[in-house]
Structures are given as C-alpha cells and as structure tokens.
C-alpha cells in the first residue's frame, strides 16, 4: 500500500513530535506539491524525513500534447535532495507565478482541472523514471 503523508506530518516527524512504525508492505510517497511547499516554506529538512522513509515521488505523466490521464505513477526511489535539486532547476519553466495566489484565489481555482494542470507543470524531461 502507498501512503501519502501531509507536509505538516512530515514537519512533525522532523521535529520528533511522534514516530512512525515501519510496516512491511507499506511504501511512502510524496508529490511535486511537497516540493512546492518545501520551496515556499524553506524547510529543506523535510527532504531528510523523506529520505529516512525511502519515500518515492508520485506524479502524473503527460502526453506530448501536455494532456494527462488518471494514471498516477510512482517513480523508482531516488534520493529526495537530488529530486529537489532537479525541481529547482526546472522551476523556471513554470508558466504560472505561484506568488500571485492568495487563499481566496486558491479556493476559487481549486478545481480538479487546476490541480491537474499544476501537476502537469511538474512533469519535465529528466523527471524520475518509472
């Protein structure tokens, strides 16, 4: 089973608010949105937590036309600091200035289509192999 932890939970794990018990058969995953939140909040120590969990990146692949489907993919394990470095290198390709979003605008645009589009922006050549 894949388990997706919220950014706040990862922060609490780093701060040692509580500990996770490893369970055979469970795998930890994180998304490009975690990378966005790490960048916005400056909490790169979250990458250490992801490394400790052997967490893998989950993402939405796109077609050549930039369209996505409902098939989420889980990458092979890659050290989270390396994934984050690649994320920073590719941030300049983003077509949206995320600093313009405020809570009201974010709530207004919080549709499946907008979320999907945001994930599409995170799938560039050189992202993890499946």
Q: Which sequence spans correspond to the domains of the chain? A: 2-121
User: pTM here?
Assistant: 0.66
Name 21's Cβ contacts closer than 8 Å, sequence gap at least 6: none
How confident is the model at residue 114, as a pLDDT?
Answer: 42
Q: If you count them, how many residues does the chain have?
A: 130
Which stretches within the chain are classed as H helix?
7-14, 32-41, 46-52, 80-90, 103-108, 112-121
Q: Which two tokens stand for residue 64?
A: 């050549």
pLDDT at 17: 86
Burial of 75 (0-12, 13-18, 19+ CB in 10 A): middle
Mean pLDDT, contiguous 10-residue spans, the chain (130 residues) = 88 87 83 90 93 90 70 89 90 55 55 40 45
| pLDDT for residue 66 | 67
Distances 65 to 70, 71, 73, 81 between C-alpha atoms, Å: 16, 16, 18, 30
């Amino acid at each position: 089973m894949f388990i997706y932890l919220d950014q706040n939970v990862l922060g609490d794990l780093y701060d040692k608010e509580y500990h996770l018990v490893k369970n055979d058969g469970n795998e930890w995953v994180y998304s490009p949105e975690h990378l966005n939140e790490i960048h916005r909040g400056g909490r790169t120590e979250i990458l250490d937590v992801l490394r400790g969990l052997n967490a893998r990146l989950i993402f939405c692949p796109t077609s050549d036309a930039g369209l996505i489907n409902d098939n989420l993919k889980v990458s092979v394990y890659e050290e989270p600091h390396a994934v984050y470095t690649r994320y920073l290198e590719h941030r300049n390709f983003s077509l949206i200035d995320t600093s313009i979003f405020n809570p009201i605008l974010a709530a207004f645009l919080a549709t499946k289509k907008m979320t999907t589009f945001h994930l599409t922006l995170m799938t560039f050549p050189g992202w993890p192999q499946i």
